[in-house]
Protein backbone atom coordinates (compact mmCIF):
# COMPACT_ATOMS: atom_id res chain seq x y z
CA UNK A 1 0.00 0.00 0.00
CA UNK A 2 1.28 3.43 -0.93
CA UNK A 3 0.49 5.29 2.29
CA UNK A 4 3.83 5.64 4.12
CA UNK A 5 4.78 7.19 7.44
CA UNK A 6 6.99 10.32 7.41
CA UNK A 7 8.82 11.83 10.35
CA UNK A 8 7.56 15.24 11.54
CA UNK A 9 9.23 17.69 13.88
CA UNK A 10 6.35 19.16 15.84
CA UNK A 11 3.24 17.16 15.01
CA UNK A 12 2.74 13.59 16.19
CA UNK A 13 0.38 10.97 14.77
CA UNK A 14 -2.70 13.00 15.71
CA UNK A 15 -1.65 16.65 15.80
CA UNK A 16 0.45 18.72 18.19
CA UNK A 17 0.16 17.87 21.89
CA UNK A 18 1.86 19.15 25.01
CA UNK A 19 1.63 20.38 28.56
CA UNK A 20 -0.05 23.79 28.63
CA UNK A 21 2.37 26.68 29.11
CA UNK A 22 5.40 24.43 28.79
CA UNK A 23 5.28 22.66 25.42
CA UNK A 24 2.09 24.23 24.14
CA UNK A 25 2.00 28.02 24.38
CA UNK A 26 -0.40 30.63 22.95
CA UNK A 27 2.51 31.88 20.78
CA UNK A 28 2.90 28.46 19.17
CA UNK A 29 -0.84 28.12 18.59
CA UNK A 30 -1.02 31.60 16.96
CA UNK A 31 1.81 30.45 14.65
CA UNK A 32 -0.09 27.24 13.82
CA UNK A 33 -3.13 29.41 12.97
CA UNK A 34 -1.01 31.69 10.75
CA UNK A 35 0.52 28.68 8.98
CA UNK A 36 -2.81 26.98 8.41
CA UNK A 37 -4.27 30.28 7.18
CA UNK A 38 -1.34 30.70 4.79
CA UNK A 39 -1.82 27.19 3.37
CA UNK A 40 -5.62 27.00 3.32
CA UNK A 41 -6.73 30.59 2.80
CA UNK A 42 -10.52 30.72 2.97
CA UNK A 43 -13.21 29.75 5.50
CA UNK A 44 -11.94 27.73 8.45
CA UNK A 45 -14.06 26.03 11.13
CA UNK A 46 -12.65 25.80 14.64
CA UNK A 47 -13.76 23.94 17.75
CA UNK A 48 -12.48 22.68 21.08
CA UNK A 49 -12.94 20.02 23.72
CA UNK A 50 -13.76 20.85 27.35
CA UNK A 51 -10.23 21.47 28.65
CA UNK A 52 -9.74 24.50 30.92
CA UNK A 53 -7.10 25.90 28.53
CA UNK A 54 -9.39 25.45 25.51
CA UNK A 55 -10.72 28.99 25.48
CA UNK A 56 -7.21 30.44 25.55
CA UNK A 57 -5.99 28.29 22.66
CA UNK A 58 -9.10 28.65 20.52
CA UNK A 59 -8.60 32.43 20.70
CA UNK A 60 -4.95 31.99 19.73
CA UNK A 61 -5.69 29.82 16.70
CA UNK A 62 -8.44 32.20 15.57
CA UNK A 63 -6.10 35.17 15.92
CA UNK A 64 -3.53 33.47 13.66
CA UNK A 65 -6.15 32.55 11.08
CA UNK A 66 -7.75 36.02 11.05
CA UNK A 67 -4.31 37.65 10.63
CA UNK A 68 -3.82 35.76 7.36
CA UNK A 69 -7.21 36.90 6.06
CA UNK A 70 -9.16 33.69 6.75
CA UNK A 71 -12.79 33.92 7.83
CA UNK A 72 -13.41 31.84 10.94
CA UNK A 73 -16.54 29.97 12.04
CA UNK A 74 -16.30 29.03 15.71
CA UNK A 75 -18.34 25.86 16.33
CA UNK A 76 -17.74 25.98 20.09
CA UNK A 77 -17.29 22.85 22.21
CA UNK A 78 -17.84 19.65 20.23
CA UNK A 79 -16.30 16.21 19.56
CA UNK A 80 -13.48 16.06 17.00
CA UNK A 81 -15.56 13.88 14.61
CA UNK A 82 -18.37 16.47 14.80
CA UNK A 83 -16.01 19.22 13.63
CA UNK A 84 -14.66 16.88 10.94
CA UNK A 85 -18.20 16.23 9.73
CA UNK A 86 -18.96 19.97 9.64
CA UNK A 87 -15.73 20.78 7.75
CA UNK A 88 -16.29 18.05 5.13
CA UNK A 89 -17.30 19.73 1.88
CA UNK A 90 -18.31 23.00 3.56
CA UNK A 91 -15.01 24.58 4.65
CA UNK A 92 -11.46 25.11 3.40
CA UNK A 93 -10.10 23.50 6.55
CA UNK A 94 -10.55 23.12 10.28
CA UNK A 95 -8.64 23.29 13.55
CA UNK A 96 -9.63 21.40 16.68
CA UNK A 97 -8.19 22.37 20.04
CA UNK A 98 -7.90 19.07 21.91
CA UNK A 99 -5.46 16.76 23.63
CA UNK A 100 -7.73 13.74 23.09
CA UNK A 101 -7.05 11.12 25.81
CA UNK A 102 -4.19 13.00 27.55
CA UNK A 103 -4.51 14.23 31.17
CA UNK A 104 -6.09 17.66 31.94
CA UNK A 105 -2.82 19.62 31.96
CA UNK A 106 -2.33 18.84 28.25
CA UNK A 107 -3.80 20.45 25.18
CA UNK A 108 -3.15 20.31 21.46
CA UNK A 109 -4.27 21.08 17.91
CA UNK A 110 -5.57 18.71 15.23
CA UNK A 111 -5.68 20.12 11.70
CA UNK A 112 -8.56 19.08 9.46
CA UNK A 113 -8.51 19.03 5.66
CA UNK A 114 -11.48 20.20 3.50
CA UNK A 115 -12.54 16.55 3.06
CA UNK A 116 -12.87 16.13 6.85
CA UNK A 117 -9.77 13.94 7.29
CA UNK A 118 -6.87 14.85 9.56
CA UNK A 119 -3.99 16.49 7.69
CA UNK A 120 -1.58 13.90 6.24
CA UNK A 121 2.19 13.80 6.73
CA UNK A 122 3.28 15.63 3.56
CA UNK A 123 1.03 18.64 4.12
CA UNK A 124 1.81 18.66 7.86
CA UNK A 125 5.53 18.87 7.09
CA UNK A 126 4.82 21.93 4.88
CA UNK A 127 2.80 23.43 7.73
CA UNK A 128 5.68 22.81 10.15
CA UNK A 129 8.13 24.49 7.76
CA UNK A 130 5.96 27.62 7.71
CA UNK A 131 5.88 27.59 11.53
CA UNK A 132 9.67 27.22 11.86
CA UNK A 133 10.46 29.75 9.08
CA UNK A 134 7.69 32.11 10.24
CA UNK A 135 6.92 32.71 6.55
CA UNK A 136 3.24 33.59 6.94
CA UNK A 137 1.23 35.58 4.41
CA UNK A 138 -0.10 38.14 6.89
CA UNK A 139 -2.73 40.58 5.54
CA UNK A 140 -2.89 44.38 6.02
CA UNK A 141 -5.49 46.10 8.22
CA UNK A 142 -8.27 46.15 5.62
CA UNK A 143 -7.96 42.46 4.64
CA UNK A 144 -7.98 40.63 8.01
CA UNK A 145 -10.66 37.98 8.43
CA UNK A 146 -14.01 38.02 10.20
CA UNK A 147 -15.42 35.63 12.77
CA UNK A 148 -18.87 34.22 13.44
CA UNK A 149 -20.02 31.96 16.28
CA UNK A 150 -21.97 28.91 15.11
CA UNK A 151 -22.45 26.38 17.95
CA UNK A 152 -25.69 25.08 16.38
CA UNK A 153 -23.75 23.30 13.65
CA UNK A 154 -23.25 20.36 16.05
CA UNK A 155 -26.85 19.42 15.15
CA UNK A 156 -25.72 18.50 11.61
CA UNK A 157 -23.47 15.84 13.11
CA UNK A 158 -26.11 14.37 15.43
CA UNK A 159 -28.60 14.20 12.57
CA UNK A 160 -26.06 12.61 10.19
CA UNK A 161 -25.61 9.72 12.63
CA UNK A 162 -29.24 9.20 13.62
CA UNK A 163 -30.25 9.26 9.91
CA UNK A 164 -28.18 6.10 9.43
CA UNK A 165 -30.40 4.22 11.90
CA UNK A 166 -34.08 4.88 11.20
CA UNK A 167 -36.95 3.25 13.07
CA UNK A 168 -36.05 3.80 16.75
CA UNK A 169 -33.95 0.61 16.80
CA UNK A 170 -32.95 1.09 20.45
CA UNK A 171 -36.51 0.94 21.81
CA UNK A 172 -36.57 -1.16 24.97
CA UNK A 173 -32.80 -0.91 25.57
CA UNK A 174 -31.36 0.80 28.64
CA UNK A 175 -27.82 2.10 27.95
CA UNK A 176 -25.26 3.96 30.06
CA UNK A 177 -23.29 6.79 28.43
CA UNK A 178 -20.03 8.02 30.00
CA UNK A 179 -18.75 11.04 28.03
CA UNK A 180 -16.09 11.60 30.72
CA UNK A 181 -17.01 15.30 31.15
CA UNK A 182 -15.89 15.84 27.55
CA UNK A 183 -17.71 17.25 24.50
CA UNK A 184 -19.67 14.03 23.90
CA UNK A 185 -21.89 15.23 26.79
CA UNK A 186 -23.58 17.22 24.00
CA UNK A 187 -23.86 14.39 21.47
CA UNK A 188 -23.79 10.71 22.58
CA UNK A 189 -26.72 10.84 25.07
CA UNK A 190 -28.72 12.70 22.39
CA UNK A 191 -27.82 10.21 19.63
CA UNK A 192 -28.72 7.18 21.77
CA UNK A 193 -31.98 8.78 22.94
CA UNK A 194 -32.98 9.54 19.35
CA UNK A 195 -32.33 5.89 18.51
CA UNK A 196 -35.03 5.04 21.08
CA UNK A 197 -32.77 3.95 23.97
CA UNK A 198 -33.38 4.93 27.57
CA UNK A 199 -30.09 6.66 28.41
CA UNK A 200 -28.51 6.98 31.85
CA UNK A 201 -25.52 9.35 31.87
CA UNK A 202 -22.49 9.42 34.15
CA UNK A 203 -19.77 12.13 34.00
CA UNK A 204 -22.28 13.94 31.82
CA UNK A 205 -21.50 17.56 32.79
CA UNK A 206 -18.75 19.21 30.76
CA UNK A 207 -15.78 19.98 33.00
CA UNK A 208 -12.14 20.42 31.93
CA UNK A 209 -10.84 19.36 35.34
CA UNK A 210 -12.30 15.89 34.61
CA UNK A 211 -13.56 15.32 38.19
CA UNK A 212 -15.06 11.84 37.58
CA UNK A 213 -12.32 10.15 35.59
CA UNK A 214 -9.35 10.90 33.33
CA UNK A 215 -9.97 11.43 29.59
CA UNK A 216 -8.42 8.03 28.75
CA UNK A 217 -11.36 5.57 28.99
CA UNK A 218 -9.54 2.76 30.84
CA UNK A 219 -11.12 -0.22 32.61
CA UNK A 220 -9.95 1.30 35.91
CA UNK A 221 -11.50 4.72 35.14
CA UNK A 222 -14.80 3.15 34.06
CA UNK A 223 -15.52 1.30 37.32
CA UNK A 224 -18.38 3.66 38.20
CA UNK A 225 -19.78 3.35 34.68
CA UNK A 226 -19.61 -0.46 34.97
CA UNK A 227 -21.39 -0.42 38.35
CA UNK A 228 -24.14 1.71 36.84
CA UNK A 229 -24.53 -0.72 33.93
CA UNK A 230 -25.12 -3.71 36.20
CA UNK A 231 -27.32 -1.85 38.72
CA UNK A 232 -29.54 -0.33 36.01
CA UNK A 233 -29.92 -3.47 33.90
CA UNK A 234 -28.36 -1.70 30.89
CA UNK A 235 -27.49 -3.67 27.75
CA UNK A 236 -24.13 -1.87 27.58
CA UNK A 237 -22.16 1.13 28.76
CA UNK A 238 -20.29 3.33 26.29
CA UNK A 239 -17.45 5.71 27.19
CA UNK A 240 -15.35 8.12 25.18
CA UNK A 241 -11.89 9.61 25.28
CA UNK A 242 -11.46 13.39 25.71
CA UNK A 243 -12.54 14.31 22.17
CA UNK A 244 -14.89 11.39 21.48
CA UNK A 245 -13.28 10.05 18.34
CA UNK A 246 -12.95 6.80 20.26
CA UNK A 247 -15.62 4.73 22.04
CA UNK A 248 -15.14 1.77 24.36
CA UNK A 249 -17.77 -0.52 25.90
CA UNK A 250 -18.80 -2.24 29.11
CA UNK A 251 -20.91 -5.37 28.60
CA UNK A 252 -24.16 -6.06 30.49
CA UNK A 253 -22.20 -8.00 33.17
CA UNK A 254 -20.14 -4.86 33.91
CA UNK A 255 -17.02 -6.18 32.15
CA UNK A 256 -14.76 -3.91 30.09
CA UNK A 257 -14.74 -5.04 26.45
CA UNK A 258 -11.19 -5.27 25.12
CA UNK A 259 -10.96 -2.87 22.17
CA UNK A 260 -9.78 -5.41 19.58
CA UNK A 261 -12.78 -7.58 20.47
CA UNK A 262 -15.07 -4.57 20.09
CA UNK A 263 -13.51 -3.85 16.67
CA UNK A 264 -13.95 -7.53 15.69
CA UNK A 265 -17.63 -7.58 16.69
CA UNK A 266 -18.48 -4.45 14.73
CA UNK A 267 -16.39 -5.69 11.76
CA UNK A 268 -18.33 -8.96 11.88
CA UNK A 269 -21.62 -7.05 11.89
CA UNK A 270 -20.63 -4.85 8.93
CA UNK A 271 -18.94 -7.62 6.90
CA UNK A 272 -21.92 -9.90 7.41
CA UNK A 273 -24.03 -7.43 5.46
CA UNK A 274 -21.48 -6.11 2.93
CA UNK A 275 -18.55 -7.64 1.12
CA UNK A 276 -15.28 -5.70 0.80
CA UNK A 277 -12.09 -4.56 2.46
CA UNK A 278 -11.44 -3.68 6.13
CA UNK A 279 -8.44 -1.36 6.71
CA UNK A 280 -6.45 -1.32 9.95
CA UNK A 281 -2.90 -0.79 11.28
CA UNK A 282 -0.46 -3.70 11.64
CA UNK A 283 -0.83 -3.40 15.44
CA UNK A 284 -4.49 -4.50 15.48
CA UNK A 285 -5.31 -7.84 17.10
CA UNK A 286 -5.50 -10.98 14.95
CA UNK A 287 -9.11 -11.51 16.08
CA UNK A 288 -10.18 -8.78 13.63
CA UNK A 289 -8.55 -10.42 10.58
CA UNK A 290 -9.98 -13.80 11.58
CA UNK A 291 -13.61 -12.64 11.76
CA UNK A 292 -13.27 -10.47 8.64
CA UNK A 293 -12.06 -13.49 6.64
CA UNK A 294 -14.78 -15.70 8.13
CA UNK A 295 -17.28 -13.24 6.64
CA UNK A 296 -15.58 -13.47 3.21
CA UNK A 297 -14.07 -10.00 3.40
CA UNK A 298 -10.38 -9.07 3.15
CA UNK A 299 -8.04 -7.01 5.31
CA UNK A 300 -5.52 -4.32 4.34
CA UNK A 301 -2.81 -3.28 6.82
CA UNK A 302 -1.33 0.22 7.26
CA UNK A 303 1.27 1.93 9.49
CA UNK A 304 0.08 2.71 13.03
CA UNK A 305 -2.06 5.88 13.21
CA UNK A 306 -5.64 6.66 12.22
CA UNK A 307 -4.63 9.06 9.41
CA UNK A 308 -2.90 6.19 7.60
CA UNK A 309 -6.05 4.10 7.93
CA UNK A 310 -8.30 6.92 6.68
CA UNK A 311 -5.99 7.80 3.76
CA UNK A 312 -5.61 4.15 2.73
CA UNK A 313 -9.40 3.75 2.78
CA UNK A 314 -9.74 6.75 0.46
CA UNK A 315 -6.98 5.50 -1.83
CA UNK A 316 -8.56 2.05 -2.15
CA UNK A 317 -11.92 3.61 -2.94
CA UNK A 318 -10.29 5.73 -5.64
CA UNK A 319 -9.02 2.42 -7.07
CA UNK A 320 -12.66 1.25 -7.02
CA UNK A 321 -12.09 -1.29 -4.25
CA UNK A 322 -15.13 -1.73 -1.97
CA UNK A 323 -13.95 -0.47 1.43
CA UNK A 324 -16.55 -1.31 4.06
CA UNK A 325 -14.89 -0.47 7.37
CA UNK A 326 -11.67 0.63 9.06
CA UNK A 327 -10.23 1.44 12.44
CA UNK A 328 -7.71 0.86 15.18
CA UNK A 329 -7.63 -1.60 18.07
CA UNK A 330 -8.12 1.23 20.58
CA UNK A 331 -11.82 1.92 20.02
CA UNK A 332 -11.21 4.37 17.14
CA UNK A 333 -13.44 3.10 14.32
CA UNK A 334 -14.07 4.58 10.85
CA UNK A 335 -17.36 4.11 9.02
CA UNK A 336 -16.83 5.06 5.35
CA UNK A 337 -20.56 5.49 4.64
CA UNK A 338 -20.51 8.28 7.24
CA UNK A 339 -17.06 9.91 7.11
CA UNK A 340 -13.33 9.11 6.87
CA UNK A 341 -12.32 9.63 10.48
CA UNK A 342 -12.69 7.83 13.78
CA UNK A 343 -16.10 8.51 15.26
CA UNK A 344 -17.09 7.60 18.82
CA UNK A 345 -20.71 8.75 18.47
CA UNK A 346 -21.21 6.63 15.36
CA UNK A 347 -19.55 3.67 17.13
CA UNK A 348 -22.01 3.98 20.06
CA UNK A 349 -24.96 4.01 17.62
CA UNK A 350 -23.53 1.02 15.71
CA UNK A 351 -23.48 -1.03 18.94
CA UNK A 352 -27.24 -0.47 19.31
CA UNK A 353 -27.72 -1.64 15.71
CA UNK A 354 -25.51 -4.69 16.31
CA UNK A 355 -27.43 -5.79 19.42
CA UNK A 356 -30.77 -5.18 17.71
CA UNK A 357 -29.85 -7.25 14.62
CA UNK A 358 -28.25 -10.19 16.48
CA UNK A 359 -30.80 -10.28 19.31
CA UNK A 360 -27.96 -11.44 21.61
CA UNK A 361 -26.35 -10.04 24.75
CA UNK A 362 -23.05 -8.23 24.30
CA UNK A 363 -21.26 -10.75 26.57
CA UNK A 364 -22.56 -13.68 24.46
CA UNK A 365 -21.24 -12.03 21.31
CA UNK A 366 -17.83 -11.45 22.94
CA UNK A 367 -17.68 -15.06 24.17
CA UNK A 368 -18.39 -16.24 20.62
CA UNK A 369 -15.25 -14.55 19.19
CA UNK A 370 -12.07 -16.50 18.42
CA UNK A 371 -9.80 -16.52 21.50
CA UNK A 372 -6.52 -14.63 21.23
CA UNK A 373 -4.04 -13.50 23.87
CA UNK A 374 -2.21 -10.17 23.54
CA UNK A 375 0.89 -9.09 25.48
CA UNK A 376 1.97 -5.44 25.21
CA UNK A 377 5.13 -3.90 26.61
CA UNK A 378 7.31 -0.84 26.11
CA UNK A 379 11.02 -0.66 26.84
CA UNK A 380 13.06 2.52 27.33
CA UNK A 381 15.98 2.53 24.89
CA UNK A 382 17.63 4.85 22.36
CA UNK A 383 18.69 1.84 20.27
CA UNK A 384 15.34 1.31 18.52
CA UNK A 385 16.79 1.20 14.98
CA UNK A 386 19.55 -1.19 16.00
CA UNK A 387 17.02 -3.51 17.69
CA UNK A 388 14.83 -3.60 14.57
CA UNK A 389 17.82 -4.46 12.37
CA UNK A 390 18.85 -7.23 14.75
CA UNK A 391 15.34 -8.71 14.92
CA UNK A 392 15.23 -9.02 11.13
CA UNK A 393 18.39 -11.14 11.16
CA UNK A 394 17.17 -13.33 14.03
CA UNK A 395 14.07 -14.47 12.13
CA UNK A 396 15.26 -15.01 8.55
CA UNK A 397 12.85 -17.86 7.85
CA UNK A 398 9.70 -16.33 9.31
CA UNK A 399 7.38 -14.06 7.33
CA UNK A 400 8.31 -10.46 8.12
CA UNK A 401 6.13 -7.42 7.50
CA UNK A 402 7.84 -4.01 7.58
CA UNK A 403 4.80 -1.77 7.10
CA UNK A 404 5.62 -0.15 10.47
CA UNK A 405 8.52 -1.53 12.53
CA UNK A 406 8.95 -5.30 12.12
CA UNK A 407 6.10 -7.79 12.40
CA UNK A 408 7.14 -11.43 12.68
CA UNK A 409 4.64 -14.17 11.90
CA UNK A 410 5.64 -17.41 13.66
CA UNK A 411 3.37 -20.47 13.82
CA UNK A 412 0.01 -19.30 15.20
CA UNK A 413 1.48 -16.08 16.70
CA UNK A 414 2.84 -12.76 15.59
CA UNK A 415 4.99 -10.12 17.26
CA UNK A 416 5.29 -6.45 16.31
CA UNK A 417 8.31 -4.40 17.38
CA UNK A 418 8.24 -0.66 16.69
CA UNK A 419 10.54 2.18 17.66
CA UNK A 420 8.69 5.37 18.69
CA UNK A 421 9.34 8.44 16.53
CA UNK A 422 8.91 10.86 19.43
CA UNK A 423 10.23 9.08 22.55
CA UNK A 424 13.30 6.87 23.23
CA UNK A 425 11.26 3.67 23.55
CA UNK A 426 10.38 0.53 21.64
CA UNK A 427 6.96 -1.08 21.78
CA UNK A 428 6.39 -4.81 21.61
CA UNK A 429 3.04 -6.49 20.93
CA UNK A 430 2.64 -10.27 20.84
CA UNK A 431 -0.65 -11.78 19.63
CA UNK A 432 -1.08 -15.51 20.09
CA UNK A 433 -3.61 -18.35 20.31
CA UNK A 434 -2.67 -19.33 23.88
CA UNK A 435 -1.12 -17.62 26.91
CA UNK A 436 1.79 -20.09 26.90
CA UNK A 437 2.64 -19.39 23.26
CA UNK A 438 2.34 -15.63 23.81
CA UNK A 439 4.67 -15.64 26.85
CA UNK A 440 7.15 -17.93 25.19
CA UNK A 441 7.42 -15.74 22.05
CA UNK A 442 7.60 -12.55 24.13
CA UNK A 443 10.44 -13.94 26.31
CA UNK A 444 12.27 -15.17 23.23
CA UNK A 445 12.21 -11.67 21.69
CA UNK A 446 13.37 -10.08 24.93
CA UNK A 447 16.24 -12.55 25.15
CA UNK A 448 17.37 -11.48 21.66
CA UNK A 449 17.25 -7.75 22.37
CA UNK A 450 18.60 -7.80 25.95
CA UNK A 451 22.30 -7.71 24.89
CA UNK A 452 21.65 -4.37 23.09
CA UNK A 453 19.76 -2.96 26.08
CA UNK A 454 22.56 -3.91 28.48
CA UNK A 455 25.31 -2.17 26.47
MG1 LIG B 1 -9.22 11.09 20.67
The edge-to-edge listing of strands for the beta sheet with 298-302 is 298-302, 277-281, 323-327, 333-334
Which candidate, 13, 6, 15, places its Cα nearest to that of 122? 6
Pair (377, 363) in one structural domain: no
- pLDDT score of 421: 74
- pLDDT score of 403: 96
Query: How confident is the model over 39-75, as pLDDT tens digits?
Result: 999 999 999 999 999 999 999 999 999 999 999 999 9
Pair (224, 266) in one structural domain: no
The verdict on whether 100 is a catalytic residue reads: yes
Grouping H, G, I as helix, E, B as strand and the rest as coil, residue 226 is helix
Pair (426, 405) in one structural domain: yes
How far is residue 69's CA from residue 34's CA, in Å, rounded to a whole number?
9
- pLDDT score of 3: 79
Pair (101, 134) in one structural domain: yes
Distance 161 CA to ligand 1 centre (A): 18
In this prediction, residue 5 has a pLDDT band, given cuts at 50, 70 and 90, of confident
Query: How confident is the model over 338-388, as pLDDT tens digits?
Result: 999 999 999 999 999 999 999 999 999 999 999 999 999 999 999 999 999
Distance 438 CA to ligand 1 centre (A): 29
Distance 79 CA to ligand 1 centre (A): 9
The residue among 124, 155, 186 that closes a domain is 155
In this prediction, residue 422 has a pLDDT band, given cuts at 50, 70 and 90, of confident
Pair (181, 238) in one structural domain: yes
Which candidate, 177, 178, 260, 259, places its Cα nearest to that of 221? 178
The residue among 331, 347, 367 that closes a domain is 367
Is residue 26 exposed (0-12), middle (13-18) or buried (19+ Cβ within 10 Å)?
middle
Q: DSSP for 228-276?
A: HHHHHT-SEEEEE-TTSS-EEEE-TTSPBPPHHHHHHHHHHHHHHH--S
Residue 11 has pLDDT above 90, yes or no: no
Distance 20 CA to ligand 1 centre (A): 18
Q: Which residues surround ligand 1, an ion (CB under 5 A)?
A: 100, 241, 243, 245
Pair (307, 227) in one structural domain: no
CATH number at residue 389: 3.30.310.50
Which whole number is the average pLDDT over 204-209?
98
Residue 69 belongs to some domain of the structure: yes
Residue 162 belongs to some domain of the structure: no
- pLDDT score of 208: 98
Distance 288 CA to ligand 1 centre (A): 21
Pair (128, 202) in one structural domain: no
Pair (53, 147) in one structural domain: yes
Distance 14 CA to ligand 1 centre (A): 8
**What Å distances lie between residue 358 and 49, 410, 427, CA to CA?**
35, 35, 37
Residue 1 has pLDDT above 70, yes or no: no
Which candidate, 347, 341, 327, places its Cα nearest to that of 85? 341
Structural domain boundaries, residue 193: 171-251
- pLDDT score of 27: 97
Pair (360, 406) in one structural domain: no
Pair (238, 143) in one structural domain: no
Choice among 53, 63, 100, 306 that is catalytic: 100
In this prediction, residue 423 has a pLDDT band, given cuts at 50, 70 and 90, of confident
- pLDDT score of 397: 87
How far is residue 93's CA from residue 307's CA, in Å, rounded to a whole number?
16
The residue among 352, 367, 382 that closes a domain is 367
Question: How do beta strands 71-77 and 323-327 pair?
Answer: unpaired
Pair (31, 75) in one structural domain: yes
In this prediction, residue 2 has a pLDDT band, given cuts at 50, 70 and 90, of low
Distance 215 CA to ligand 1 centre (A): 9
Distance 377 CA to ligand 1 centre (A): 22
Contacts of 152 (CB under 8 A, 6+ apart): none
Q: DSSP for 307-364?
A: HHHHHHHHHHHHTT--EEEEE-TTS-EE-TTT-SSB-HHHHHHHHHHHHHHH-S-HHH
Q: DSSP for 404-424?
A: SSEEEEETTEEEEEEE-SSSS
Residue 8 belongs to some domain of the structure: no
Contacts of 186 (CB under 8 A, 6+ apart): 77, 78, 79, 154, 206
Q: Between 43 and 7, where is the model more confident?
A: 43
Across the chain, mean pLDDT equals 96
Element holding 211 (H helix, E strand): none
Residue 391's Cβ-side half-sphere holds a number of Cα atoms within 13 Å equal to: 30
Query: pTM value?
Result: 0.96
- pLDDT score of 9: 84
Which whole number is the average pLDDT over 256-265?
98
Residue 9 belongs to some domain of the structure: no
Grouping H, G, I as helix, E, B as strand and the rest as coil, residue 26 is helix
CB crowding 172-210: b at 16 or more within 10 Å, else e = ebbbbbbbbbbbbbbbbbbbbbbbbbebbbbbbebbbeb
Pair (144, 21) in one structural domain: yes
- pLDDT score of 387: 94
- pLDDT score of 8: 85
Distance 244 CA to ligand 1 centre (A): 6
- pLDDT score of 231: 98
- pLDDT score of 454: 79
In this prediction, residue 15 has a pLDDT band, given cuts at 50, 70 and 90, of confident
- pLDDT score of 122: 93
How far is residue 66's CA from residue 74's CA, in Å, rounded to a whole number?
12
Residue 5 belongs to some domain of the structure: no
Distance 441 CA to ligand 1 centre (A): 32
Residue 164 belongs to some domain of the structure: no
Q: 95 has which bridge partners?
A: 46, 111
Grouping H, G, I as helix, E, B as strand and the rest as coil, residue 118 is strand
Residue 6 belongs to some domain of the structure: no
**What Å distances lie between residue 370 and 43, 118, 201, 285, 410, CA to CA?**
48, 33, 32, 11, 18
In this prediction, residue 146 has a pLDDT band, given cuts at 50, 70 and 90, of very high
Give the total number of structural domains in the chain: 4
Distance 247 CA to ligand 1 centre (A): 9
- pLDDT score of 396: 85
Residue 7 belongs to some domain of the structure: no
CATH number at residue 187: 3.40.120.10
Distance 1 CA to ligand 1 centre (A): 25
Distance 321 CA to ligand 1 centre (A): 28
Which candidate, 17, 103, 10, 14, places its Cα nearest to that of 57? 17
Q: Quick one: what percent of the chain has pLDDT higher than 90?
A: 94
Amino acid sequence: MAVKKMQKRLFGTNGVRGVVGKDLTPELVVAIGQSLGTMRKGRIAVGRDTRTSGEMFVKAIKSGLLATGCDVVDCGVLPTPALQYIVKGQFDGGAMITASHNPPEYNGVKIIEPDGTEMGDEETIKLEELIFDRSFSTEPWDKTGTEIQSPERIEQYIKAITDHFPGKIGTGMIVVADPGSGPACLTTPRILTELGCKVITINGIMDGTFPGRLPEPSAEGLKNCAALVTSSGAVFGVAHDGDADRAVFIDERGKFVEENQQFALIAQHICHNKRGVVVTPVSTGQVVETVVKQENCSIEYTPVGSIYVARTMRLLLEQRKPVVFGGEGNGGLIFPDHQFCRDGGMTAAMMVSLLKSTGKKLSELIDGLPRRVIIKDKIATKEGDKILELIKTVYPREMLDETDGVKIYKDSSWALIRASGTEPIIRIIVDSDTRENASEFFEEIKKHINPILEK
